[in-house]
Amino acid sequence: MRTFPQILLLLFVTSGMLTTARAADKPAAKKPAKQEKAADALVKLNPEETVLLDLKGKRVLLKTKVVQREAVLEFFCCLSQTLEHESIVSLDSKAMYIHAALLRIGAKPGKPAQFDPEYKPPTGQKIDIFVQWRDKKKTLHRVRAQDWVQRVTRRFYSVPMEKLPNDLKIPAESELRYDKFAKELLWFGPMTEKQKKRLLAWSKDAAYKKGIEKFFDDSQPRKMTAEWVFAGSQFVRDEPGGPEYYLAESGQIISVANFSSSIIDVAMKSTDAEANLLFEAATDQIPPLGTEVTVELIPQFKPVKGEASKKPATTSKTTPSKSSKK
């Protein structure tokens, strides 16, 4: 795990790399084409060559691969061998390179989500995120990362119902359930048009029909519309006076549930409580497992809410384990 001074050093070295590269590649006046090509070149920032800086285009490119297509999500992107069971793509790198790259193109970090004494959403520069990949026919695709994320449908839906209508008899094999103790009608997962039509035919009761319609409406997949912001993660100390460590090195790169350790977080209240996770992978939009995907991070240079500084928020708490995420 890298310290804050190391990240500043990386930022300084990165700037030097860019200046030196351009000076070395500067051709004679009679070769303008090569000069233009050098100016457009991507700079590889990490040993794995998976974090690339496009200074002219003000973009950071992450070379990732698809690791999940059907999971309920806490992250869109994580570091390799960390949180792949709840992320769509993973990246082989250190987190510090991403933070330094965003700083280098002028992105301003804000503050991670806060939970005590009251919830405050993450702040920071808005980051537009796109994904690029090629299919089996080598056709290039590019879409917003939100297209790969949808509201959770793999959960129970309920409507209050004092008792079942007299004309309703629920077959034992049906996915529809009635909890006589909680006095609720229950349904799990997305409901199809065919299922809705069949269930509506079971009773003429208006309250029952309204409940089935609600199950259908609530369970339809809805694409994620929330934006992402450069929250900037945090630094922690193992002991007072000890070195500061960058919390994102535990794997939290791009979140869809609020984490105080994430570099980029979703700009809305999104819990990481297992029973209340808000997002899941939009399976039919995501290419096969193992597909190489370029994730584009593009800061939007508009006023940022809240305070912003180059150094993320610092806490004296010890680095949390996977089970204590906040």
Per-residue pLDDT of the chain (326 residues; tens, 9 = 90+): 444 455 554 554 455 544 434 433 444 444 444 444 444 589 999 999 999 999 999 999 999 999 999 988 999 999 999 999 999 999 999 999 999 999 999 999 999 988 888 888 899 999 999 999 999 999 999 999 999 999 888 888 999 999 999 999 999 999 999 999 999 999 998 899 999 999 999 999 999 999 999 999 988 888 998 999 999 998 888 777 778 889 999 999 999 999 989 999 998 877 654 445 689 999 999 999 999 999 999 999 754 343 333 343 444 333 333 333 44
CA proximity to 257, closest of 276, 282, 236: 276
All residues at 6 or more sequence positions from 32 whose CB lies less than 8 Å from its CB, including other chains: none
Angle, helix 95-104 to helix 4-25, in steps of 10 degrees: 60
Q: Which two tokens stand for residue 136?
A: 């089996």
Parse the chain into domains and list their residue ranges: 43-151+224-299, 156-220
Please report the pLDDT score of residue 238 as a whole number.
75
Q: Tell me, what's the pLDDT at 144?
A: 97
| Residue 263 · residue 124 · CB < 8 Å | no
pLDDT of res. 6 = 54
Q: Where are the alpha helices (DSSP H) in the chain?
A: 4-25, 32-39, 95-104, 193-200, 206-218
Can you give the pLDDT at residue 141? 97
What is residue 82's three-state secondary structure? coil
Question: How far is the CA of 311 from the CAs of 218, 323, 326, in angstroms?
Answer: 41, 26, 19
pTM: 0.75
Angle between helices 206-218 and 193-200 (to 10 degrees): 170
